[in-house]
Structure 1
């Protein structure tokens, strides 16, 4: 397994990322509907959802692959954000601010790397 990226495990962890994302978005929508939570907090909530949705699967990915946690986590974070960005462009037709997208991509990669580093050290 040396010097190879395990794409099958990466895809499984990416799927887990999006399952976590959908679940947390559903919970957020319920909170918006039934509590006094304001929509002005959505930017912060969306960032928290993205961080959790990358961090936890990055740890699992590193535990499963058992090497190069930072690299595998980085890849998971980058792929997650690119897929998320493409989804927004295709289905929501949102205009994308390049600087904002690059910043979020860097954040996604950083969070993935940190999750991978922590995951590799949990064994």
Structure 2
């Protein structure tokens, strides 16, 4: 089955999206690609210090972006976790496990620096909605 492109851009309203020229998510046909999402609290535009709270915020932002594109977390097939310290793995797993344990997408965790020192995690997700 061939899908007609119906590209939809999703934004959180963050001014950084416009400045950097990206969308929180891009949905096209059966696919939705969610950009790397950090732990900002978009209601207050603040970054909590706690890695678990950052991971929780990132997952909530991802779920919201997917919903705005008419996808859900159950459509997620791939996630990438980027953390700034290997010691964050366990607290992150305990958070994302609550969100994804029934879905069990393919996943990768990478240890790397992020663009702002207060950022401890960035999560990227890819969703696929089976047309069948």
TM-score range normalised by the length of the shorter chain: 0.3 to 0.5
Q: TM-score when scaled to structure 2?
A: 0.36
Which has more strand, going by share of residues?
2
| Structure number, greater radius of gyration | 1
Normalized per residue, which structure has more helix? 1
Q: Give the TM-score normalised by structure 1.
A: 0.38
